[in-house]
Amino acid sequence: MTPGPRIPNPVSVVVGRALGAHYFNHSRLNNLFVEKGAPGDPPPGNCEDKSIEWLKRASADTVVDALSVLGGVLEELMEVEHTRYGQSLAALHESRQKVTQALAKFGLSYHNGGRILVANSGAATRSLESVLRARDLPALEMEFQRALSTIETDPAAAVTAACATIESLCKVYIEDERLGMPSDQSIKPLWRVVQSNLGLDPSQIADDDLKRILSGLTSIIDGLGAFRTHVGSAHGRGRDSYRLSPRHARLVVHSAHTLTVFVIETWDARKSETS
Could you say which DSSP state residue 182 is in?
Answer: P
User: According to the model, what pLDDT value does residue 19 have?
Assistant: 94
Predicted local distance difference test score (pLDDT) of residue 124 = 38
Return d(Cα 23, Cα 16) in angstroms, integer.
11
Q: How many CB atoms lie within 10 A of CB 219?
A: 11
How many CB atoms lie under 10 A from the CB of residue 59?
A: 21
End-to-end CA distance of the chain: give it in Å, rounded.
Answer: 52
pTM of the model: 0.52
- Please state which CATH number belongs to domain 128-274: 1.20.120
Residue 184 to residues 189, 191, 193, Cα–Cα distance (Å)? 6, 11, 11
Q: Which of 134, 189, 141, 199 is nearest to 167 (CA)?
A: 189
What's residue 199's pLDDT?
Answer: 86
8-state DSSP, 24: -
- Would you state the pLDDT for residue 2? 46
What pLDDT was estimated at residue 1?
40
Half-sphere exposure of 128 (CA within 13 A, CB side): 19
Q: pLDDT means per 10 residues in the chain (275 residues)?
A: 75 95 91 94 94 95 91 91 77 89 82 74 52 74 74 81 86 91 87 89 73 82 78 47 77 88 88 76
- What's residue 43's pLDDT? 94
